[in-house]
Amino acid sequence: SAKAGGRGNYCFYTPDMHVFATRRRELEIELRRALKSEEFEVHYQPQVAIGTHAVVGFEALARWYHPERGIIPPNEFISVCEEIGLIGAVGEFVLTRACRDAACWPDSVKIAVNLSALQFKSGTLPAVVAHALRVSGLDPRRLELEITESAMLDDTASVLKQLRDIKQLGVLISLDDFGTGYSSLSHIRNFPFDRVKIDQSFVRDLGTNSDSLAIVRAVTGLCGSLGILSTAEGVETLDQLNILVAEKCDSAQGYYFSRPVPFVETLPFVSRMHALHSQAA
Ligand code: C2E
Ligand code: MG
Ligand code: MG
Ligand code: MG
């Protein structure tokens, strides 16, 4: 047995843990197979301009189409990919697919792709991004890369250098999930962000929690003063949207507009929102 820490908390090796370890090993083997047999897919969630509801972009979100278990969400496999050294390959697959798909959309529609902190480790990320742009023919100004603050914690100099090189290509950089984790104002000052994405945990209780409202107001105000765009994540209700309009957030993303959808549904969504918008105008 091992002492797990805390007062009198002893952690014994149990049959459950054995099941967990076995399951985990199976998952690793399955993930390597999934990459080879192209079981990963990319879904897209629209981001709309707050005033007009015009679609300004989509966020690419990885999905695993498991042959027996159906569609598996990223929270169940991205961290395992990171631990077993597969995140570089999976990340490059998502980036390349997303750039290729985005090249089919109108020029006014951007694509946002999530990066893992570990994708900065090898120092080759700028070359990987340049390659994805080249093979897809996508205008670099239509690509945004989302990173969380965890990417800025170690080897800051190397991460900063790679971000600058990526920005040199014309690509935009967003700070994802802002307000969670290590949120530090020095990150906003020292890193070249074009956009801050306000975490959904603050958006969720905007109508009911005055602290959340104060935080959203502070972030949109800060972004406004610094010339950084702001996007609210996890917008589910009209009430939340109305508050974000009042707080001068730039764009919104969430189930209120649409869940993440397969590529085939993206262009019809852009047209539908455009038709609604021109009717209203
Ligand atoms: P994220 O980048 O913060 O993406 C937003 C997540 O919130 C997505 O979950 C999205 O489906 C969900 N969401 C959007 N609107 C709403 C809403 O109105 N209500 C609620 N409750 N949720 C909403 P998803 O697709 O499960 O992705 C989870 C996380 O997995 C992402 O969070 C991102 O950190 C990570 N992820 C996804 N794809 C990739 C990828 O290709 N590479 C890496 N490194 N991470 C990825
Ligand atoms: Mg994201
Ligand atoms: Mg986020
Ligand atoms: Mg998140």
Q: Which band of pLDDT confidence, cut at 50, 70 and 90, is reported for residue 76?
A: very high
Q: Which band of pLDDT confidence, cut at 50, 70 and 90, is reported for residue 280?
A: low
pLDDT at 207: 86
Burial per residue of 116-155, b for 16 or more beta-carbon CB atoms within 10 angstroms, e otherwise = bbbbbbeeebbebbbebbeebebebebbbbbbbbebbeee
pLDDT at 4: 44
Cβ neighbour number for residue 93 with a 10 Å cutoff: 17
pLDDT at 9: 54
pLDDT at 181: 73
Looking at every residue in the chain, the average pLDDT score rounds to 91
The CA 260 to ligand 1 mean position distance, Å, reads: 9
Residues bordering ligand 4, an ion, CB closer than 5 Å: 177
Q: Which band of pLDDT confidence, cut at 50, 70 and 90, is reported for residue 12?
A: low
pLDDT at 276: 85
Using one digit for the tens of pLDDT, what is the confidence trace for 199-235? 999 999 998 999 999 999 999 999 999 999 999 999 9
Check pLDDT > 60 for residue 14: yes
**Single-letter amino acid code for the residue at 241:** L
**CB of 252 closer than 8 Å to CB of 244:** yes
pLDDT at 13: 63
144 lines ligand 1 (CB under 6 A): no
Mean pLDDT along residues 194-201: 96
Cβ neighbour number for residue 11 with a 10 Å cutoff: 12
* Rounded-to-integer distance, Cα 72 and Cα 70, Å: 6
96 lines ligand 1 (CB under 6 A): no
pLDDT at 11: 58
Q: Which band of pLDDT confidence, cut at 50, 70 and 90, is reported for residue 150?
A: confident
Mean pLDDT along residues 177-202: 88
pLDDT at 3: 41
pLDDT at 223: 95
Nearest to 235 by CA among 98, 41, 53: 53
Check pLDDT > 60 for residue 1: no
Considering the entire predicted model, what is its pTM?
Answer: 0.93
Using one digit for the tens of pLDDT, what is the confidence trace for 82-121? 999 999 999 999 999 999 999 999 999 999 999 999 999 9
Residue whose Cα lies nearest atom 15 of ligand 1: it is: 254
73 lines ligand 1 (CB under 6 A): yes
pLDDT at 180: 84
75 lines ligand 1 (CB under 6 A): yes
